Amino acid sequence: MRFGPGATHAPVVRDPARQVALHGFIDRLDREAERGGFRVVDYKTGRPVARRDDPRAVQLAVYLYAVTDGDPRRLADSEARFVHVTRRGRFAVQQLTGTTLTAHRDDLQHFILAVAHGIATGEFFPQPGERGRNCQVCDYQSLCEAGVVQQNERKTVAGQDRGWRSLPDFAALLALLPGPVAVAAGEDEDS
């Protein structure tokens, strides 16, 4: 499901001073007909989100917020999941429940509005993470200068990233669920 400006569903986050349109593409969206809840599924290659400030964690929160428009009643019956698959046939599932997001709804809205404001004012510069780890999942990697990791390190030492570091972290909200069991080729699934 695609959401955002020009799509059928165009969620926004606003405060009295500004409005931020959310946009993205959800890999899979299931609707629970009885209560009207949603299950957002985003497929990922590689290992689960395990590090603090992993940029992927906020993606799941934004997707869940977007499909429910942040409505606590709809969030209560909804969840979002990362389904991780590795080249070696390993699986992992991480879940963010709607009730967890409801408890951190103000943090998410603050995060979105603060990032938009920080980018517009130049306060938030690229955050490549330790040894450029965030660049691996960034769609705009090709736009950054070659020395972005070194520039970030100098600005961090100078304390210029205080605003960024003070933003809420969503990685801690993800729960690791039992994943599907891989079956070797030729094995009977019932055995």
Asked, for residue 190, whether it belongs to a domain, the answer is no
Q: What angle do CA 16, 21, 26 make, to 5 degrees?
A: 140
Reported pTM: 0.79
Q: Quick one: 10 and 58 in the same domain?
A: yes
Taking the C-alpha atoms of residue 15 and residue 11, their distance in angstroms, rounded to an integer, is 14
Q: How many whole angstroms separate alpha carbon 97 and alpha carbon 92?
A: 16
**From first to last of its 191 residues, what are the pLDDT tens digits of the chain?**
999 999 999 999 998 888 999 999 999 999 988 878 999 999 988 778 877 777 788 999 999 999 999 999 999 999 999 998 877 767 889 999 999 999 999 999 999 999 888 888 877 777 787 788 888 877 777 888 888 888 888 888 888 878 878 888 898 899 988 755 554 555 444 43
pLDDT at site 184: 53
15 and 48 share one domain = yes
Residue 107: give the domain boundaries.
2-124+167-177
Total structural domains within the chain: 2
Q: Are residues 58 and 140 in the same domain?
A: no
Q: What's the rounded Cα separation, in Å, for the pair 179 and 48?
A: 11
Say yes or no: 77 and 150 in one domain: no
3-state secondary structure (DSSP) of residue 183: coil
Distances (CA, A) of 54 to 101, 125, 127, 167: 17, 16, 11, 12
- Residue 42 domain flag: yes
Q: Is residue 184 part of a domain?
A: no
Determine the length of the chain.
191
Query: Positive or negative CA dihedral for 111, 114, 116, 119?
Result: negative
| 130 & 119 share domain | no
Complete DSSP assignment for 92-150:
EEEEEEHHHHHHTHHHHHHHHHHHHHHHHHT-------GGGGGGGG-TTGGGS-TTHHH
Q: Are residues 33 and 111 in the same domain?
A: yes
- Interatomic CA distance for residues 95 and 175, integer angstroms: 5
Phi/psi for 54 (5° steps) reads -70, 125
Mention every residue, 6+ apart, whose C-beta is less than 8 A from residue 84: 44, 45, 46, 47, 48, 90, 91, 92, 93, 94, 179
Contact between residue 63 and residue 26 where contact means Cβ atoms under 8 Å apart = yes
Strands 91-97 and 79-85: antiparallel
